[in-house]
Every structure is written in structure tokens, then in C-alpha cells.
Amino acid sequence: MHTWQNWSGLETAHPTEVITPATPDEVAVAVRRAAAAGDRVKMVGTGHSFTSISAPESVMLRPDGLSGITAVDRAAMTVTALAGTPLYVLNSELARMGLSLHNMGDIAEQTLAGATSTGTHGTGGVKASLSAQLAGLRLVTGDGSTVVASRDENPDVFAAARIGLGALGVITHVTFEVEPLGVLEAHEQPMGWDEALARYDEFVSQNHHCDMYWFPHTDRMQVKTNNRLDVPIDEIDPVGRFRGWLDDDFLSNSVFGLVNRLGNRAPGLIPRINDLSGRLLSERRYSDIPHRVFTSPRRVVFKEMEYAVAREVGLDVLREARQLIERKGWRIGFPVEIRMTPADDITLGTSTGRDSIYLAFHVHEHAEHLDYFGGVEEILKAAGGRPHWGKVHTRQAADLAEVYPRFEEFLALRDRLDPGRVFANDYLRRVLGD
């Protein structure tokens, strides 16, 4: 029996068959064969989604055989890669060529198609999600045929398939817009809750990227701003090896893991632990090539819910969530992350049509999450929030249709590209309907 499990361990599935296609043609053959047999097909990524969005029901396609860059267009400043390429591979290949993505999230383990299919995003910039940085893609649809999509070719498919949830087809190639490799300076500074919130608009407008973390049960925040520096690459001033290991590996992973296990055993200690963690953070500045500033290793396994709300209401929603946490007496050992993304034009993009603030709530893998996530989700839902497609949420097609003005357009495209629902699974039935 085959077993698939996601990174957080929250979701498990048992596909009947596992195939590792080595070419786009082999993907098409697998889809046609499954469609003819009445089976379902699911191309998985690295399972970094916290939801069951990539849970295979019968045939599972592994991404490993579809990896690597296939084209570089320096005139158009685009790079095309096979869909299963891990993001860290793309990042280092781009750097080798003197190129970079504009923006990305906190880690680089995901596959390119897996990350874009759920709207994986960073913060700030002119484009915040990987999906919004796509210039084109190629996908195998429900009857095994191939569709190429960009702003000029099949624009309706391009609008939707950049965040296609795996519902429209198996992506074989993605083309990203890229920019010249530059230097990004990070400035991390501890700050009080009141000051950080009062200065939020300033941080967003005066920096290229702004990321904030709030330590529950305390007034402590950590504010991280990143800015492009106009200096040559050989003038980077990265975090020293020891300080990098101490801050990003030992404190952020090893000590944080131990502290969380302690918090799980004695939740009453969590407020004091959070206060101490907040106190230990110090100000630091460093510069490096972009992907080394944006991403870092995450070895403490956790569960996460993240929602995008309209930027105007984001900080009020955060204040409401804080009040709820204190009122309910939950003990939350993980910081809440606050990011901002400019509006995009992707059909089911969490930022579609509006500048957004993303609020992300985490708990350790062994901590109970249902009450916390469920309680905060009510606030996020009442604020017109849109859940990250790859993170824990309980929303269903009927109420998601209310927060996505182009929901019906996506469903109509799904009917056209996958009328037999070859790509369906329980998650898609819940969020899109049958």
C-alpha cells in the first residue's frame, strides 16, 4: 500500500498507484489512462500545504522527474522551468545566471507548481506571490491535451491557472518574470505592540518589504524590513556564520523546538516563555542576495492557518484576534505573522482586486489547534477574509463564492478543462463543489 503524508503530518492518503513521469508526454499518458479507467490523478508537490489539497485519491504523480530550467529569455527577462523543480533549485540556478525572482515566502522547499497553485506569497514588493510573478504556464487538462497560457494566449486559463488549486490540470512548465540579481538589506528590530502598529503604514510605504511577528501574551513585536541596495553583489554583508547559525538555526529551530515541547507539557509557562523569547531578540542588519534574505530553514514542525483580509481592516482584525486570545485563555507558543501584499488579478488569488494584509496563526505540531484556529477564523471570516488555499481552514464553496467576485468564472473554466473531474479530491469538492 502506498502512503502519502503532508509536511505537518495532519493529512494522510493512500494512492492506489504512484507514477513519476519523466516528461510532459508521460504526464499526458498518465492522465489519459486514468481518465479512461475512471480514476483520479493528483500531481503532488512536496506536501508543504497544511490542507489536504494535494491528497491523491487514486493515481499519484510525483514531481521529481520534472525538474530543471528549460529556457532563459534575457530579452523578455523570463525563465521557464519544469513544474516539479524545487524553489531552492530555481533560486540557486537563477543566482548563478545573475538573475532572481522578485519576491517569495519564508521557505524554498516547495515545488514551483505546488507553490504557485496555492498562491504562496511573501510580503510587499510590486508582486508578492509567486503566482503573480508568472508570465506563462503549460498544463495537461482532463482529456490529456496540452494548453499553453499567458496574457496573450488563452488569457482566461492564465488568469485562473496561476492559482489553479490543482483543479484545472497538471502543470508541466512554469515561466517566471525575473529581474537582475541584486542585494537586499534586512533590518530586524524588536518593538512594542503599540509602536509597531502605529508605524505600520510607514513601514510598508517606506520599505520594499515588511514582515512583522507578534509574540502572543506579550506586547513584543519583531519588525523585519527588506530593501534593495544599489551596491555590487560582492559588497554583500551577510550574517556571520556563527551569528547565522545561532539566530537562524540554533535559536529559531533547535531552542524553539525545545521551548515548544516544554510549552506543550506546561502551557501555563507559555506567556513567560514568549516574553523571554521577545526579550532575547536583538536588532540586526545584514545584506545578501534576495533568496537568502527571504527564506530560512524551518525544522520545527507546526500547523498553520493564514487569511488575507483587505488592507484597511487588517490591523483591526489583528487587534480583535489578540483580544480573543486573551479572553479565551488559550496558550499560544508561536508568533503571529503579519505580511502585506499588493492587489493582483488572479481569479482565485487571495489578494485578487485588493491590497491585503495576511495574518498567519501557528501552533506546534503536537499542540491542539482546533479551538484557536476556529475562534480566530470566525473573526477573519466576518472581516471578509480569504483563506490561504494551502493552510488550515474550514471554508466551503458556498461561502467562498461570497468573497471571490470571479468564483463562477473559475468553476466554468474547471467544467471546460476537467469536465470528468479527473483532478478532484475531497478538498476540491469542499472548496469548489462537485
> Where does residue 274 rank: exposed (0-12), middle (13-18), buried (19+ CB within 10 A)?
buried
Among 85, 111, 226, 287, binds ligand FAD (CB under 6 A): 111
> Taking the complex as a whole, how short is the minimal distance between the CB of residue 325 and ligand FAD, in angstroms?
22
* Site residues (CB under 6 A) for ligand FAD, limited to 226-245: none
Q: How many CA within 13 A on the CB side of residue 161?
A: 33
- Whether the CB-CB separation of 354 and 311 falls below 8 Å is answered with yes
Q: Is 110 in the site for ligand FAD (CB under 6 A)?
A: yes
Give the residue with the Cβ less far from ligand FAD, 19 or 271. Answer: 19
* Site residues (CB under 6 A) for ligand FAD, limited to 158-177: 165-166, 170-171
Q: Is 123 in the site for ligand FAD (CB under 6 A)?
A: no
Q: Is 107 in the site for ligand FAD (CB under 6 A)?
A: yes
> Taking the complex as a whole, how short is the minimal distance between the CB of residue 105 and ligand FAD, in angstroms?
3
> Taking the complex as a whole, how short is the minimal distance between the CB of residue 269 and ligand FAD, in angstroms?
25
> Taking the complex as a whole, how short is the minimal distance between the CB of residue 46 and ligand FAD, in angstroms?
4
In the numeric block, the cell 483587505 is attached to 310
> Taking the complex as a whole, how short is the minimal distance between the CB of residue 45 and ligand FAD, in angstroms?
2
> Backbone phi, then psi, for 404, in 5-degree steps?
-120, 105
3-state SS class at 423 = coil
Sequence-distant (6+) residues with CB within 8 A of 92 are: 291
Using CB under 6 A, count the residues that bind ligand FAD. 32
> Taking the complex as a whole, how short is the minimal distance between the CB of residue 54 and ligand FAD, in angstroms?
3
Q: Is 207 in the site for ligand FAD (CB under 6 A)?
A: no
Looking at 253-369, list the stretches that DSSP marks H as alpha helix, in order from N- to C-terminal side: 256-265, 270-280, 290-294, 311-328
* Site residues (CB under 6 A) for ligand FAD, limited to 386-415: 388, 390
What does the block give as the cell for 228? 534593495
* Site residues (CB under 6 A) for ligand FAD, limited to 30-59: 42-49, 53-54
Among 39, 106, 345, 355, binds ligand FAD (CB under 6 A): 106
Q: Is 85 in the site for ligand FAD (CB under 6 A)?
A: no
| Contact mark string toward ligand FAD, 261..300, x via CB under 6 A | -------------------------------------x--
User: Starting at the edge strand that comes first in sequence, how are the strands of the sheet with 134-140 ordered?
Assistant: 69-73, 78-82, 170-177, 134-140, 146-150
In angstroms, what CA-CA distances link 25 with 65, 67, 335?
Answer: 12, 14, 45
DSSP string, 113-151: HHHHHTT-B-SSSS--BTGGGEEEEEEE-TTS-EEEEES
Give the residue with the Cβ less far from ligand FAD, 45 or 144. Answer: 45
Query: In the 8-state DSSP scheme, what is residue 4?
Result: E
Give the residue with the Cβ less far from ligand FAD, 102 or 217. Answer: 102
> Taking the complex as a whole, how short is the minimal distance between the CB of residue 50 and ligand FAD, in angstroms?
7
Give the residue with the Cβ less far from ligand FAD, 170 or 196. Answer: 170
Q: Is 356 in the site for ligand FAD (CB under 6 A)?
A: no
Give the residue with the Cβ less far from ligand FAD, 98 or 250. Answer: 250
- Whether the CB-CB separation of 340 and 354 falls below 8 Å is answered with no
Give the residue with the Cβ less far from ligand FAD, 93 or 106. Answer: 106
Which listed range, 72-80, 110-118, 211-219, 259-267, lies at the site for ligand FAD (CB under 6 A)? 110-118
Which listed range, 16-24, 71-79, 111-119, 256-264, lies at the site for ligand FAD (CB under 6 A)? 111-119
Strand partners, 176: 79, 134
- Whether the CB-CB separation of 120 and 90 falls below 8 Å is answered with no
d(C-alpha 250, C-alpha 278), whole Å: 16
- Whether the CB-CB separation of 328 and 356 falls below 8 Å is answered with no
d(C-alpha 27, C-alpha 415), whole Å: 20
- Return the closest-CA partner of residue 377 out of 366, 391, 364, 390: 391
Query: Interface residues with ligand FAD (CB under 6 A)?
Result: 7, 42-49, 53-54, 63, 83, 105-107, 110-111, 113-115, 117-118, 120-121, 165-166, 170-171, 298, 388, 390
